[in-house]
Amino acid sequence: MSLPFRPNVLKMRPYSPGKPLDEVKRELGLTDVIKLASNENPLGPPPKAVEAIREAAAEANIYPDAAGFDLKNAIAEMHGLKPENVVLGNGSDELIHYLGLILLEGEGTELVMGNPSFVRYDASAQLANAVLTKIPVDKDWRHDVDAMAAACSDKTRLVYVANPNNPTGTVIDQAETDRLLAAIPSDALLIMDEAYYEFGVKHPYFPKTVDMIKAEKPVCVLRTFSKAYGLAGIRVGYGLAPAHVIDAIERVREPFNVTSISQKAAIAALNSQDHVEKTVKLNREGIERVEAAAKEMGLNTVESFANFVCIDMGRPAEPVFQELLRGGVIVRSGHVLGMPNHIRVSIGSPDEMTRFIELFKTLA
């Protein structure tokens, strides 16, 4: 049977996640495998969120609050915004999809982004059959905001900055953000994807993006509960933006897109800032250990303000990725991330980082 699938859809590639633990165990015949590939929280969910999940599970037969009233209000209060400035998503990935739906339509529209950066931006442009303009990061693996600004045209509708950037972990500061916003077209929206915000905000000049929204700037901020809050498995993220942007997203949003369990768990997680603080501290200690080990081996790392670190092998890194895999340590090979000479290592528990470093030193 032949179906007339849209040509632009057939050009898209399914998302390629880090290899699952069970798959590696099965393929390589291993019983003891650790996963440092998907930027997950080694401390797990906050205990309050686990309890909220247990309680909410008893009412799983009831549809969730489609408006997400309680969670929206909790997020709005946390940021000093109004509920109409908040939209909920099945992870922030879903909101990236919606932003493409509301602002991209064919070759007369354009999305501008850094390269390498998060691949789901590509997908939203490709699905809309829009122009996708990817601007290489600079020599320090940071977004080149001036080149991105110069690349904008009268077709530009979305400009994406992952800050901290995935996969590099680098950040742009307030001055760079202001400069980019001032340069983009008046009918374009600047998307600041802050999935790793809780780690990146430690940067001394991290952009105050919520203040930009309060000032009614054409900015949309994306955040998630998957990383620092440890709730990757239940998929809940949110967007912050001027009310008219949120209204447009709400018009295309799937009903009941965030489950009742996810909503209750996210509220509990917001009330677990001590857990976030422990996560951020553990993460910084892990990054410093990896950086020190790499330096000892004569290797460079990319300065990271996320919960992972990229190591420059100085040569194609895929063989190192495969050797680590055979040793029961899953990391990310840079060849699928646009960084073929790097491996990207998520920060795990202290024991996991010890195991990675000991094995890595035998391979590099």
CA distance readout (Å), 349 to 36, 193, 345: 10, 26, 12
pLDDT digits (tens, 9 = 90+) for 263-306: 999 999 999 999 999 999 999 999 999 999 999 999 999 999 99
pLDDT at 12: 86
Say yes or no: 158 and 103 in one domain: yes
Domain count, the chain: 2
**Tokens of residue 126, six digits:** 């490709």
**Tokens of residue 155, six digits:** 């077709």
| Predicted structure pTM score | 0.96
Residues 142, 212: Cα–Cα separation, whole Å: 22
pLDDT at 363: 86
Say yes or no: 123 and 108 in one domain: yes
Residues 202, 33: Cα–Cα separation, whole Å: 32
- Domain presence at residue 27: yes
Q: φ and ψ at 216, to 5 degrees?
A: 65, 30
Residue 332 amino acid letter: R
pLDDT at 356: 98
- Domain presence at residue 165: yes
For residue 17, pLDDT beyond 80: no
Q: Which domain holds residue 37?
A: 16-45+274-363
- CATH at 315: 3.90.1150.10
pLDDT digits (tens, 9 = 90+) for 96-138: 999 999 999 999 999 999 999 999 999 999 999 999 999 999 9
Domain end marker among 270, 294, 310? 270
pLDDT at 364: 65
